[in-house]
Chains A and B, each alone.
Chain A
Amino acid sequence: MKSSWFAPWRRKVRSPAGSESSDLVCREAVELVTAYLDDALEPGPRAALERHLVDCPHCSEYFAQIRLVRQTAAHVEPEDLVPDARRDLMALYRQWRADPDSAAAEAPGTEAPDAEASDAEATDGDETPDTEAPDTNDS
């Protein structure tokens, strides 16, 4: 149970269904679910995992549950916009339009205006690394 964790495809073990031999054991298979769903497994391990899933109803159930978690998470809605927040943000916008340099100093909703302003200034350049980063098409 110790070192086998890091060599998931070394041993041949009876699958839990008791039928066919499989390259993977369940304890190892469950650790591959995320790489599998991201299509990040090498062909060999991927094939071994797929053989295991065919053989093993328990791991198939486990994978289905992880898929359900992922699918359900996509339906979690954010909380409603607080009316004050919208008002504050539109005020922030107007301040910025009037004087782009001073907007931070009076940013609404901040407890310590001076500190927030200097913070915003100090890190301004760090906020837009995308303008330097190589293009990776996200779509």
Chain B
Amino acid sequence: MLGRVESDDELVVRLRIGDQDAFAVLVDRYHTRLTRFARSFTPRAELAEDIAQETWLGLLRGLDRFEGRASLRTWLFQICANRARTLAAKEGRLIPVDPTDPGAPTVDPARFGPEGAWSQPPAPWPNAAAQEQEQDAELVERVRVAITRLPESQQQVVTLRDVEGLTAVEVCRILDLTEGNQRVLLHRGRARVRALLEQEVATK
């Protein structure tokens, strides 16, 4: 048994019969990820921590009604998003709609010629072509920082899709988005992260 990683489902079963250790394992597994996700709703670290803590209370209270039809992970992020919105509303702060026009180009139009072909093409990145290269710690850090600079709604979608690795269906459910809106936000967010990295490469 030693070293075996218990599935979320197994831990939920244990949690239902009052196993405190199961709760501790889930906290270790998800709390910092919930806090990170909460930070995409608020720049205030302590508020994000509160949101994540309240998420756990929401989990405990909803445990009897959780039927396992969605994954525990999806459910936790969904409680977290709802809690973040509730707190924002209570503070009189509206969750901003993505300020950018969804039809606006994600690459500066000045980089294309009159016929739409690149006039200033992207400079090749040394490692962009390599599919299975070693993870570059510096690049990971640059991507991390770039994501935190995205507008809130883009940051939420990119965090869930690309950092957490959730599916489009899960993200639509968590953030109450249509499939189309979800994709627009992901598209704009990824393009913006790429552009930020490009600027850094250029000034390096």
Interface residues of A (CB under 8 A from B): 1, 4-6, 13-16, 25-28, 30-31, 33-35, 38, 40, 56, 58-59, 61-62, 64-70, 72-76, 78-82, 85-86, 88-90, 92-94, 96-97, 100, 103-104, 107-111, 115-116, 119-120, 123-124, 126-131, 133, 135-136, 138-139
Q: Number of B interface residues, CB 8 Å?
A: 83
A133 touches which of B70, B103, B190 (Cβ 8 Å): B70
Q: How far is the CA of A22 from the CA of B162 in the complex (A)?
A: 31
A40 touches which of B20, B183, B197 (Cβ 8 Å): B183
Task: Judge if B61 is at the interface, Cβ distance under 8 Å.
Answer: yes
B118 touches which of A16, A100, A111 (Cβ 8 Å): A16
Task: Judge if B105 is at the interface, Cβ distance under 8 Å.
Answer: yes
A34-B187 in contact (CB<8A): yes
A119 to chain B, nearest CB (A): 6
Task: Give the nearest-CB partner of B141 in chain A.
Answer: A76
Task: Give the nearest-CB partner of A13 in chain B.
Answer: B115
Given A25-B115, A30-B107, A103-B57, 11 more A-B residue pairs with CB atoms under 8 Å apart are A16-B117, A76-B140, A78-B36, A79-B35, A85-B52, A85-B53, A88-B53, A93-B60, A110-B54, A128-B79, A131-B62
Q: Would A130 and B67 be within 8 Å (CB), given that A68-B128, A96-B60 are in contact?
A: yes
A79-B163 in contact (CB<8A): no
Q: How far is the CA of A130 from the CA of B20 in the complex (A)?
A: 24
B190-A70 in contact (CB<8A): yes
Q: Tell me if B's interface is mostly helix, strand, loop or mixed.
A: helix
B124: A residues at CB distance < 8 A = 61
Q: Tell me if A's interface is mostly helix, strand, loop or mixed.
A: helix
B165-A66 in contact (CB<8A): no
B116 touches which of A27, A79, A97 (Cβ 8 Å): A27
Task: Give the nearest-CB partner of A8 in chain B.
Answer: B116
Task: Give the nearest-CB partner of A103 in chain B.
Answer: B57
Q: Would A93 and B117 be within 8 Å (CB), given that A27-B107, A64-B128 are in contact?
A: no
A74: B residues at CB distance < 8 A = 162-163, 165
Between-chain CB contacts (< 8 Å), 8 pairs: A56-B118, A65-B198, A69-B193, A78-B35, A110-B53, A135-B70, A136-B70, A136-B169
A60 to chain B, nearest CB (A): 9
B69-A72 in contact (CB<8A): no
Interface residues of B (CB under 8 A from A): 18, 20, 23-24, 27-28, 31-33, 35-36, 46, 49-50, 52-54, 56-58, 60-62, 65-67, 69-71, 74-75, 78-79, 82-83, 86-87, 90, 103, 105-107, 109, 112, 114-118, 121-122, 124-125, 127-129, 131, 135-136, 139-140, 143-144, 147, 158, 162-163, 165-170, 173, 183, 186-187, 190-191, 193-194, 197-198
